[in-house]
């Protein structure tokens, strides 16, 4: 190729035709790219065996079947080699305690898919509370975010013929009582926001047409979404509605009997909800003299009357952040992170407004603990999962103030002999200390080796320790080191850590990730030629930034369901909902920095890039597959090495069943092994 190739400029983009998701020309082009990727990766001699080993992990019958209590039953959704699309099932606690519990099938998705000739993917169920007799089952066609909703009878285990049913849309729905629901969905022009989510909340009564359902609340078209729900806690029944102003700000109202609205006057960037007599508020900015990241409790009725007396349930410091919390009948279980390792304790409200606290359990260093389920209406029961990078999950059940038992223990899925776990800190260019985890062989003894660096860095998402059987078999067992970077944009150190990389400051996340990559090399863990990077969704944007800003640091890059065109993301599917995270391309104040961080617009012919694998899904109705398609086309045009694999189903997860998931993971790790683990390694960026 001779002469410079101009970067696309917004709507004059020559690859806009690849944004036509189901367009004939676009799908033909995708099929050609898929064939190239299959010839390169799926035809690798090691691919079939690797895929089979990964499928074994995903289908294993001795996985822990995590449950949610709904009345007397523990419910679980399960997929394996026999139940490809999955089965919704239930059991009792006594049966669950057995090594091989007896399950009662509630809904068999494989049978339903076969009967209706539809690739149904489970998208959850809203069980009516406190009766636990009916459910609003959500089903996705091949993994998209849009769902169909059908009422289901849990006693007869059958769909209700004349029950509530909603056609395919990004619906929000929940029970009010036996014959009424709150629903927000697509009912025609004006019913959706610019982001494609419900703009209205309607009260829908059984036996009436959905279109005739009574509107009780409306958001603006520029808002992300509207929602409504009933708190059905006995003795504390209340209705609420809310509008999401953007991804990080919202307003919540109490909906009165005559549909009057009383706003719960907390900062619009705070997370707030009502539980029994408490208003619980998680701060994202300073308020009432309390720091961002604090967890506050108010008396709800007193708050509505103007009283701002708050109990501080958690206050952050420079190394500690809130990770989550969950209620039992009489207590609050509080999860916190100190340098990304989890701690857990119990808080108990006292009549005078004070709260007592005590530890719940000890957690090993560099491990994670999470509350799987509680019973906030009837008991102080809790289910707790504890795991680590080399420590398979253990599921505990306990009663606060009572006994604790081990219910389930997952077996090891990979050989961890000789592997270690460590946490290090890299220094970003502005002096910020960035933590990262390293899992793999002791490189001080073996010298540098292949490594894979993973990151996300957005939307206040925290990357905490976990046991990954697929990653263990596909990468760690085969001699690789796995690294997780806790960069800014995430939530590892609370709201400030997230906000430090918002909007025009997004490059801080990129600088943090590059600093970790450089630190790995400086410590002798790996070399640029043996270092790969991977990330998905917002993490796919991070991968695009590494490709265009720091190609010299990596030997290969994998971007899954990625966000890459930052000048058009707001016009594609749910993209408008992320303007608060990145900025608005239609705003002249934001457009320069968005162009600067847009990987699609920063690709150049005269730069040396490491080989790239782009993964997406035709059915991804969150991050448009056009991001990956157009970037692959642009890289090809400029003469760079790129592979694209687009799964026809799977939605934003990229896979709708274990077969697809194993195939995708095998493609990724075959690509990484080919580029990073070969004996005669070439310099990163050289076309091969």
Q: Please name the residues in contact with 317: beta carbons below 8 A apart, sequence gap of 6 or more.
A: none
pLDDT band with cut points at 50, 70 and 90 for residue 679: very low
Q: What is the mean pLDDT of the chain?
A: 95
% of the chain beyond a pLDDT of 90:
94
- Strand ranges (E), 470-595: 481-485, 531-536, 556-560
R_g (Cα) of the chain, nearest Å: 25
Question: Is the Cβ–Cβ distance between 158 and 169 less than 8 Å?
Answer: no
Give the active site residues.
537, 652
Mean pLDDT, range 122-143, rounded to an integer: 97
Q: What Å distances lie between residue 256 and 263, 266, 668, CA to CA? A: 11, 19, 53
pLDDT at 11: 60
Q: Please tell me which residue, 8 or 670, carries the higher pLDDT value.
A: 670
Mean pLDDT, range 646-664, rounded to an integer: 94
pLDDT at 590: 98
For the record, the structure tokens of 315 come out as 């206050």
pLDDT at 437: 98
Classify the phi-psi angles of 557: left when phi > 0, otherwise alpha if psi is within -120 to 50, otherwise beta: beta
Please spell the DSSP secondary structure of 336-389, one letter per residue: EEETTEEEEEEEEE-TTS-EEEEE-----TTEEEEEEEE-TTT--EEEEEEEET
Mean pLDDT, range 181-190, rounded to an integer: 97
pLDDT band with cut points at 50, 70 and 90 for residue 678: confident
Cα–Cα distance measured from residue 46 to residue 669, given in angstroms and rounded to the nearest whole number: 11
Q: What tens digit of pLDDT does each residue of 555-568 get?
A: 999 999 999 999 99
pLDDT at 544: 98
Above 80 in pLDDT, residue 686? no
Above 60 in pLDDT, residue 681? no
pLDDT band with cut points at 50, 70 and 90 for residue 165: very high
pLDDT band with cut points at 50, 70 and 90 for residue 8: confident
Mean pLDDT, range 87-114, rounded to an integer: 98
Above 50 in pLDDT, residue 127? yes
pLDDT band with cut points at 50, 70 and 90 for residue 617: very high
Question: Is the Cβ–Cβ distance between 228 and 217 less than 8 Å?
Answer: yes
pLDDT band with cut points at 50, 70 and 90 for residue 670: very high
Above 80 in pLDDT, residue 4? no
pLDDT band with cut points at 50, 70 and 90 for residue 82: very high
Mean pLDDT, range 200-218, rounded to an integer: 97
pLDDT at 685: 34
Question: Is the Cβ–Cβ distance between 564 and 599 less than 8 Å?
Answer: yes
pLDDT band with cut points at 50, 70 and 90 for residue 445: confident
**Phi and psi at residue 128, in whole multiples of 5°?**
-65, 135
For the record, the structure tokens of 175 come out as 């029970």
pLDDT at 352: 85
Above 90 in pLDDT, residue 7? no
Pairing assessment for the beta strands 200-205 and 214-218 based on DSSP bridges? antiparallel
Spatial CA neighbour of 677 closest among 46, 49, 43? 46
Q: What tens digit of pLDDT does each residue of 332-361 get?
A: 999 999 999 999 999 999 988 899 999 998
Cα–Cα distance measured from residue 468 to residue 6, given in angstroms and rounded to the nearest whole number: 42
pLDDT at 9: 64
DSSP H or E run through 637: helix 626-637
Question: Is the Cβ–Cβ distance between 540 and 561 less than 8 Å?
Answer: yes
pLDDT band with cut points at 50, 70 and 90 for residue 6: low
pLDDT at 1: 34
Q: Looking at the chain, how many residues does it have?
A: 688
Above 50 in pLDDT, residue 3? no
Cα–Cα distance measured from residue 311 to residue 307, given in angstroms and rounded to the nearest whole number: 12
% of the chain beyond a pLDDT of 70:
97
Structural domains of the chain ordered from first start: 413-676 (3.40.50.1820)
Q: What tens digit of pLDDT does each residue of 219-257 get?
A: 999 999 999 999 999 999 999 999 999 999 999 999 998
């Amino acid at each position: 190729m001779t002469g410079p190739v101009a970067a696309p400029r917004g709507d004059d983009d020559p690859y806009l035709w690849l944004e036509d998701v189901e367009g004939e020309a676009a799908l033909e082009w995708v099929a050609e790219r898929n064939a190239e990727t299959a010839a390169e990766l799926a035809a690798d001699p090691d691919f079939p065996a690797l895929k089979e080993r990964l499928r074994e992990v995903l289908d294993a019958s001795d996985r822990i079947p995590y449950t949610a209590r709904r009345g007397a039953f523990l419910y679980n959704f399960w997929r394996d080699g026999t139940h490809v699309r999955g089965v919704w099932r239930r059991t009792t606690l006594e049966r669950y305690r057995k090594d091989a519990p007896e399950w009662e099938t509630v809904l068999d998705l494989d049978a339903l898919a076969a009967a209706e000739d539809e690739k149904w993917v489970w998208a959850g169920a809203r069980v009516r509370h406190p009766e636990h007799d009916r459910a609003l089952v959500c089903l996705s066609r091949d993994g998209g975010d849009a769902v169909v909703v059908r009422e289901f009878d849990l006693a007869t285990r059958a769909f209700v013929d004349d029950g509530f049913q909603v056609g395919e849309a990004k619906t929000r729905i929940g029970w009010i009582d036996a014959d009424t629901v709150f629903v927000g969905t697509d009912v025609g022009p004006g019913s959706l926001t610019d982001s494609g989510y419900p703009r209205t909340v309607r009260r829908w009564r059984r036996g009436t047409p959905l279109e005739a359902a009574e509107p009780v609340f409306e958001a603006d078209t520029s808002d992300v979404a509207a929602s409504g729900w009933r708190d059905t806690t006995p003795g504390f029944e209340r209705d609420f509605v809310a509008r999401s102003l953007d991804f990080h700000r919202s307003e919540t109202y109490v909906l009165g009997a005559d549909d009057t609205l009383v706003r719960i006057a907390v900062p619009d960037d705070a997370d707030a909800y009502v539980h029994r007599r408490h208003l619980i508020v998680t701060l994202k900015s300073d308020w009432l003299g309390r720091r961002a990241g604090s967890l506050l409790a108010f008396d709800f009725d007193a708050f509505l009357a103007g009283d701002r007396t708050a109990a501080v349930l958690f206050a952050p410091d420079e190394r500690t952040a809130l990770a989550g919390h969950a209620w039992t009948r009489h207590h609050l279980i509080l999860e916190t992170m100190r340098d990304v390792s989890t701690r857990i304790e119990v808080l108990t409200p006292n009549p005078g407004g004070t709260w007592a606290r005590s530890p719940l359990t000890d957690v090993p260093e560099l491990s994670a603990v999470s509350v799987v389920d509680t019973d906030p209406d009837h008991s102080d029961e809790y289910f707790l999962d504890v795991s680590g990078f080399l420590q398979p999950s253990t599921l505990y059940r306990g009663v606060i103030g009572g006994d604790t038992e081990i219910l389930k223990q997952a077996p090891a899925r990979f050989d961890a002999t000789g592997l270690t776990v460590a946490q290090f800190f890299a220094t970003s260019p502005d002096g910020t200390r960035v933590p990262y985890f390293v899992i793999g062989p002791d490189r001080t003894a073996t010298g540098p080796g292949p490594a894979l660096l993973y990151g996300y860095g957005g939307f206040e998402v925290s990357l905490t320790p976990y046991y990954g059987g697929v990653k263990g078999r596909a990468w760690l067992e085969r001699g690789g080191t796995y690294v997780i970077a806790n960069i800014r944009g995430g939530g590892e150190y609370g709201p400030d850590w997230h906000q430090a990389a918002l909007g025009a400051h997004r490059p801080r996340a990129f600088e943090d990730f590059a600093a970790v990559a450089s630190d790995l090399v400086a410590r002798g863990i790996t070399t640029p030629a043996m270092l790969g990077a991977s990330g998905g969704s917002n993490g796919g944007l991070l991968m695009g930034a590494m490709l265009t800003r720091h190609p010299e640091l990596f030997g290969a890059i994998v971007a899954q369901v990625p966000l890459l065109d930052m000048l058009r993301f707001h016009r594609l599917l749910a993209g408008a909902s992320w303007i608060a995270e990145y900025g608005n391309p239609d705003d002249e104040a934001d457009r320069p920095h968005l162009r600067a961080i847009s990987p699609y617009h920063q690709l150049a012919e005269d730069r040396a890039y490491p080989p790239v694998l782009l993964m997406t899904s035709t059915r991804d109705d969150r991050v448009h597959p056009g991001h990956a398609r157009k970037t692959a086309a642009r890289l090809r045009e400029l003469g760079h090495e790129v592979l694209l694999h687009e799964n026809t189903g799977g939605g934003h997860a990229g896979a709708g069943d274990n077969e697809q998931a194993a195939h995708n993971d095998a493609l990724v790790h075959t690509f990484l092994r080919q580029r990073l683990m070969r004996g005669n390694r070439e310099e990163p960026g050289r076309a091969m």
